[in-house]
Chain A
Amino acid sequence: MSMNAITISGVRLEEKPWVDTLHEWLTTVDHKRLGILYIIYALLLLIVAGIEALIIRIQLMHSHNNFVSPQVFNRMFTMHGTTMIFFVIMPVLFGFANYLVPLMIGARDMAFPRLNAFSFWLTALGGLLLYFSFLGGNGLYGAGNAPDVGWWAYAPLTARAFSTGHSSDYWTLALLVSGFGSIGTAINIIATVVCLRCPGMKLTRMPLMAWLNLVMSGMVLIAITPLSAAQIMLLVDRYLGGHFFDTQAGGSAVLWMHFFWIFGHPEVYILIIPAFAFMSEIVPVFSRKPIFGYPVMVAATIAIAFVSMSVWAHHMFTVGMNSYANSFFTITSMVIAVPTGIKIFNWLGTMWGGRIQFKTPMLFSIGFLFQFLIGGLTGVMQATAPFDWQLSLSYFVVAHFHYVIVGGIVFAVFAAFYYWYPKMTGRMLSEKLGKWHFWLFLIGFHLTFDVMHIPGLLGMPRRIYTYEPVRGWDTLNLIITIGAFIQGIAILVFVANLVVSYFNGAQAGNDPWDAWTLEWSVSSPPPAYNFAFIPVVASRRPLWDQKHPEDPDSRYE
């Protein structure tokens, strides 16, 4: 990776020993390097959590399978869920935000570079703590190792009576520590976007990527705090004799559910809003049109953020709330579909009348649009409490949220990889491998998650390590497992593409996609200081203005 864009001809930099390079990376406060560290960290844990998913799928391939014991199975789904949410998707999204937001708003770094590094290392430590439980969770002989309480860890399963040893403690500490990391990054993004925009970059001219990450960061501040509070209360319960959630001493299991989901549901939007941000940057460029309805997109995002704070108990329709509470959370959960729908319509409006180029980033974006549409609609179905009494806690829900998280967020993240990898490395990712990756992943995804709705409708609950042959779920589960393996192969193609293209990819140049935002105005990869001269912008698409001086955007905004 070249550090200097300004090179002096005739002077050759000496090769540094690898220890120096390593030292530079470990002590870096550069937002671009930290962004890449976040992304690499997320990719490593993606592989780990993916293997956990495959173990789950092998075990469920047919009824009464004995591939793993129930204890191991329970650890696998707990670790898979916790890892994917907290240590894969959050870091990869923070990584892209870290890398791109300063570049897109014409800043030289994040507002607080040291806090930025601190936040990353906290997140990394959190993941380490979680996985250290495989070694250290055995507080007592035979008390088990990794956490096995499910990713939402309902009380009183986490009480010491039911969770001996230290596995739950590692889970708690991992989330607590990485939660502080997330809060640090969120503060940093907010400060950066508010204070470091270049001259001319009014709020109404900010790329949607910056806007949406600003909103997401605000949500992080509100949503992570109750989670951290709950984790501390749980530690008090376990070690200081508190009785917040300890039902045997009169504590409340329902209280934990409220604490967890008032974090947990905004969290879903914390994850999807940056995915919306990727869509809002990529779809216009490959449709060759500006985003349709920019102010509405911003308004819809803020609306989603607000409403998402009042939908949490739709995870609790089966818990036995009264009919008024259930009605309230039904309406809020349905209302959130409106701004979300507006977003889909606006992306459609952006494509409408455009000249769509089907490069790999756009393929993944189109996949996102279709799958997010379906995931959103099954979401509306489940917002309906009576439906949810049947579907909640079943494989239908598992299929639904994987549709949103994999079909939506992961597809958007892949789109982002193909779109911004050239900026980060200076090399293009291979289009040929990219298309293999896309089609394999698409086929695997649909085999797995389309089919997964059906056993849910037939009555298969989630989190069971095996099922009875008489229920007739065998064939469906086999298909789901085959799909999971196809997805696994697609991920291998993707990783191969990342590695091969890093060494042999075509040179990217500054602006391979003929795009319009500021990050494409600097070299690939950008110099450490980003901009030799701080740019001045006059519209939402500064590079369009530069390329089309006869018809600049600034004339219309």
Chain B
Amino acid sequence: MFVLAITGIIFGVVFTLLIYAIIKFRRRGTDAGSEPAQVYGSTQIELAWTIIPILIVVVLYLATARVIHAIQDAPESATAIDVIVIGHQYWWEFRYPKLGIVTANELHIPVSDPANPTPTFLKLLSADTDHSFWVPELAGKTDLVPNHPNRMWMDPQRIGIFLGQCAQYCGTQHAKMLLRVFVDSPRDFAAWVRAQQQPAIQDASVRAGRGAFESTACINCHAVAGTPADGRFGPDLTHLMSRTTIASGATENTSENLRLWIQNPNAIKPGSLMPAMKLSDADLDAIVNYMETLR
């Protein structure tokens, strides 16, 4: 805000002077083609408009340096939530090392009470190209660079759903690498954590779907905790139904969308790295049914 005010004032002053000069010193009919006084410069004026900006810059810089230090060098408190964020082409993997949770694309964090803060500290990694984690209402962005672990933190004071997305161009579907952050009340967050810590629900009525899932290449990329599926190339599906969106926020998590997504990912997200598996209709329906039990 301070920066905005200063640049605003500079803008106002110089803008006014320019307008004044343009109106005041235009050529008029009465000049009869004569030349104005030829002025070559003035050392005093030059000094003035050199020194004043230097002073402004010094003040601006000192204010900025304090903020940079306060944000970047903030110590991590014992009550902080730890999350490892791994950027993939074109989705987000979230791992909570202290809580033993793995999920994707939708981040749940607790709201932070100023009296008893529970900020979230993110460790940012990349599995492939550069990405950038950006949820404008919660924090500035920080890049996820391969071989270059980064860190950032958020201290949300308000409950709600906050939309964000990848900000560093990462390939074909950079645009649909969306992400949403659910800032939950402490009680909701605790409930969410408990649910996520459970292994996948084993529902005998969808045995056919599970069989189809585990006998195709699906499990090379996807994991379902407690089953042979342990791929890590794609999002963890253990609690797929707890998420409101699929395909990294590209579409809502409904039966029809899920079916379309499994059948032909390019219809929803052209250029996505999930292949169309050319499943028979029966297998497709069975797998969708199976997925829908993964709450």
Asked if B270 is at the interface of the complex by the 8 Å CB criterion, the answer is yes
Residue in chain A with minimal CB distance to B136: A459
A461 touching B134, Cβ below 8 Å: yes
A357 near B: Cβ within 8 Å?
yes
A293, A323, A373: which contacts B73 (Cβ < 8 A)? A323
For window 128-172 of B, CB contacts with A under 8 Å fall at: 128-130, 132, 134, 136-137, 139-143, 145-148, 150-151, 163-172
Interchain CB contact under 8 A, A373 and B18: yes
Supposing A373-B11, A390-B136 touch, asked if A293 and B41 sit within 8 A by C-beta, the answer is yes
B169 to chain A, nearest CB (A): 4
Does B204 touch A at the CB level, under 8 Å? no
> Which of B91-130 touch A at CB < 8 Å?
124, 128-130
Are the C-beta atoms of B41 and A154 separated by less than 8 Å?
no
Q: Mark A320-346, 1 if CB is under 8 A from B, else 0.
A: 101100110011001101100110111
Known A70-B175, A461-B134; contact A393-B167, beta-carbon cutoff 8 A: yes
Q: Which of A386, A461, A466 counts the most chain B CB atoms within 10 A?
A: A461
Interface 1/0s, chain A 382-415, versus B by CB < 8 A?
0011111110111000000000000000000000
Give the size of the chain B interface in residues (CB under 8 angstroms). 78
Looking at A244-252, A261-269, A434-442, A480-488, the stretch in contact with chain B turns out to be A244-252
Closest chain A residue, CB of each to CB of B148: A254
Task: Find A354's partner among B11, B36, B175, B178 (CB 8 Å cutoff).
Answer: B36
| Distance of A126 Cα from B204 Cα, bound (Å) | 64
Tell whether, in the assembled complex, residue B141 and residue A390 are in contact, meaning their CB atoms are under 8 Å apart: yes
A296-B41, A355-B36 known; A337 and B175 CB under 8 Å? no
Point out the residue from B64, B143, B249 that lies within 8 Å of A384, measured CB to CB.
B64
The listed residue (B25, B57, B164, B178) touching A287 by CB distance below 8 A is B25
- Residues of chain B in range 40-60 having any CB-CB distance to chain A below 8 Å: 40-42, 45-46, 49-50, 53-54, 57, 60
Contact A389 B145 (CB under 8 A): no
Asked if A459 meets B130 with Cβ closer than 8 Å, knowing A334-B57, A356-B26, the reply is no
Chain B residues whose C-beta falls within 8 Å of the C-beta of A459 in the assembled complex? 134, 136-137, 163-164
Given contacts A344-B14, A374-B11, A459-B136, contact A288 B22 (CB under 8 A): no
Chain B residue nearest in CB terms to A355? B27
Residues A461 and B166 in contact in the complex (CB < 8 Å), given A253-B147, A320-B145? yes
Chain A neighbourhood of B39, CB < 8 A: 289-290, 292, 349, 353
User: In the complex, which residues 292-308 of chain A have their Cβ closer than 8 Å to any Cβ of chain B?
Assistant: 292-296
Closest chain A residue, CB of each to CB of B176: A466
Expressed in whole angstroms, the Cα–Cα distance for A369 and B14 within the complex equals 10
Closest to B149 in A: A320
Please tell me if the beta carbons of B25 and A355 are within 8 angstroms of each other in the complex.
yes
Complex CA–CA separation, A162 to B168 (angstroms): 15
Chain B's nearest CB lies how many Å from the CB of A319?
Answer: 5
Q: Which residues of B contact A327 (CB under 8 A)?
A: 61, 64-65, 68-69
Is A348 located at the chain interface by the 8 A CB criterion?
Answer: yes
Q: What chain B residues lie within 8 Å of A112 (beta carbons)? A: none
Cβ-based interface call for A358 (8 A): yes
User: Cβ of B7 < 8 Å from any Cβ of A?
Assistant: yes
Find chain A residues with CB under 8 A from B178 CB. 468
Answer whether A292 and B21 are a contact pair too, CB < 8 Å, given A318-B141, A355-B31. no
Q: A352-B21, A373-B18 known; A461 and B67 CB under 8 Å?
A: no
B11:A290 contact, CB within 8 angstroms: no
CA distance A353 to B73 in the complex (A): 52
A162 and B129 in contact, given A293-B46, A461-B166 (Cβ under 8 angstroms):
yes
CB 8 Å contact bits of A494-517 with B (1 = contact, 0 = none):
000000000000000000000000
**Distance in Å from the Cβ of B126 to the closest Cβ of chain A?**
8
Quick check: B36 and A288 within 8 Å, CB to CB? yes
Assembly CA distance A356 to B40 (angstroms): 17
User: Do B147 and A250 touch across chains, with their CB atoms under 8 A apart?
Assistant: yes
Q: Is the CB of A356 within 8 A of B27?
A: yes
B79 interfacial by beta-carbon distance below 8 Å: no
B277 neighbours in A (Cβ, 8 Å): none
B205 on the interface (CB 8 Å rule)? no
The answer, yes or no, to whether B15 is at the interface (CB within 8 Å) is yes
**Residue pair A387, B165 in contact (C-beta under 8 Å):** no
Using Cβ atoms and an 8 Å threshold, which residues of chain B touch A393? Answer: 132, 134, 141, 167-168
- CB contact between B10 and one of A69, A254, A377 (< 8 Å): that residue: A377
Q: Is the CB of A320 within 8 A of B150?
A: yes
CA distance A248 to B128 in the complex (A): 8
Residue of B with least CB distance to A551:
B38
Q: Is there an interface contact between B142 and A354, defined as CB atoms closer than 8 Å?
A: no
| Contact, CB under 8 Å: A381 / B61 | no
Question: With a CB–CB cut-off of 8 A, which chain B residues contact A392?
Answer: 141, 167
A136-176 Cβ-contact flags toward B at 8 Å (1 or 0):
00000000000010100010110000100000000000000
Q: Is A461 a contact partner of B68 (Cβ separation < 8 A)?
A: no
Find chain A residues with CB under 8 A from B271 CB.
69-71
Our pick among B54, B65, B140, B147 for the contact of A390 (Cβ within 8 Å) is B140
B71 at the interface (CB under 8 A from A): yes
**B78 interface residue (CB < 8 Å to A):** no
Binary contact readout B67-87 vs A (1 if CB under 8 angstroms, 0 otherwise): 111011100000000000000
How many angstroms between the C-alpha atoms of A344 and B14 in the bound complex?
9
Q: How far is the CA of A288 from the CA of B27 in the complex (A)?
A: 9
Q: Compute how far the CA of A464 lies from the CA of B169 in the bound complex, rounded to whole angstroms.
A: 8
Query: A337–B3 contact, CB under 8 A?
Result: no
Q: Do A253 and B145 have beta carbons less than 8 Å apart?
A: yes
Distance of B283 from chain A, by nearest CB (Å): 27
Please measure, in the bound complex, the distance between the C-alpha atom of A553 and the C-alpha atom of B40, giving whole angstroms: 10
- Tell me, rounded to whole Å, the shortest Cβ–Cβ distance linking B288 to chain A: 24
**In the complex, A183 has a CB within 8 A of chain B:** no
Residues of B within 8 A of A154 (CB): 129-130, 168-169
Q: Is A202 an interface residue (CB 8 A)?
A: no
Cβ of B203 under 8 Å from chain A: no
Residues of B within 8 A of A394 (CB): 167
CA distance A241 to B67 in the complex (A): 43
Determine whether the beta carbon of B11 is less than 8 Å from that of A349.
no
A458 on the B face (CB < 8 A): yes
Tell me which residues across on chain B come within 8 A of A471, comparing CB atoms: 163
20 contacts between A and B (CB under 8 A): A156-B128, A252-B147, A253-B130, A253-B146, A290-B40, A292-B41, A320-B142, A320-B148, A331-B61, A345-B49, A349-B42, A353-B36, A353-B37, A355-B26, A358-B26, A373-B18, A390-B141, A393-B141, A459-B164, A463-B175
Q: Which 6 A-B pairs have the closest CB atoms?
A: A389-B140, A464-B175, A320-B150, A459-B136, A293-B41, A247-B146
